[in-house]
Amino acid sequence: MTLLTYNILTGADQGRLDAVCAVVDAAAPDVAAVQELRGDPPLARCTGMRLHVAPPRTGQPVGLLVAPHLRVLRQGAVPGPFHHGAAWVEVATAAGPLTLVSVHLFPYWGLVRLYEARRLAAFAARRERVVLMGDFNSLDPWTPYAEVQRRHRRWFGRGGPDTRAMALLARRGLVDVFRRVGTGEGWTVPTALGGAEFVRSRLDYVLASPAVAGDFTACRVLDGAATASASDHFPVVATLAVPDPAGRSAP
């Protein structure tokens, strides 16, 4: 099973929809977590996948694109509140139900991100097989960052790198899939469209519960020419070696 997470930047506006859909099509995911769905972009139509969306409280919607061959058992929104919302679907696999979550944490204040991370951790704790994917807007506690922008510093921009949200999720047992099986460069921002709010860093992650983390065989950032101009974030793709109900398994 191939999983993708992708922040498409303000609904893939300014003529970028075709480029974003081409990136998704080329990755051929079974499930894609997508963030910043401003303006209801027609992702389902242009990818041939089903789109499940969670509305935001004050930000932009997030969603999950699910391939037609997967059977969706349940779907909903993670209880929040979340500035950007958090969408989830439960799909059938040969190994049992798998819950997949699309998240986009608060971009500006670390304490709000930490609150949202606690809500995600509580949701994940109630499910055995769960994968969280998205733009966590958070630095990881394992990378030595020499310089970070104000929004990614502690204490309202006055302290060191703010890694509290990712550290909390790790303490709650969620595994950073890239750190476990990833190859290549891990940073996901900026691209050619990145602005002054970014320095080179990891903001986009695939996190898995212990029951499913060991089934991942690969993870990488798609940082080629096509993704460099489609959004301000590079997408992350991960391979899960669990056969789906149609009998197909990850390569």
Structure tokens at 207: 């996190």
Q: In sequence order, which residues have a C-beta less than 8 Å from that of residue 168 and are 6 or more positions away?
A: 114, 117, 118, 121
249 close to 242: Cβ distance less than 8 angstroms? yes
Q: Over range 17-43, report the average pLDDT.
A: 98
The band of 207, judged by pLDDT with boundaries at 50, 70 and 90, is very high
Please tell me the distance from the alpha carbon of residue 74 to that of residue 103, in angstroms, as a whole number: 17
Residue with tokens 């999983």: 3
DSSP string, 103-164: EE--SS-HHHHHHHHHHHHHHHHT-SSEEEEEE-----TTS--S---GGGBHHHHTSSB--H
pLDDT above 70: residue 249: no
pTM for the whole structure: 0.95
* pLDDT tens column, 41-86: 999 999 999 999 999 999 999 999 999 999 999 999 999 999 999 9
* pLDDT tens column, 92-151: 999 999 999 999 999 999 999 999 999 999 999 999 999 999 999 999 999 888 788 888
* pLDDT tens column, 213-232: 999 999 999 999 999 999 99
* Continuous segment of H or E residues that includes residue 186: none
Please tell me the distance from the alpha carbon of residue 247 to that of residue 25, in angstroms, as a whole number: 21
2 close to 237: Cβ distance less than 8 angstroms? yes
Grouping H, G, I as helix, E, B as strand and the rest as coil, residue 65 is strand
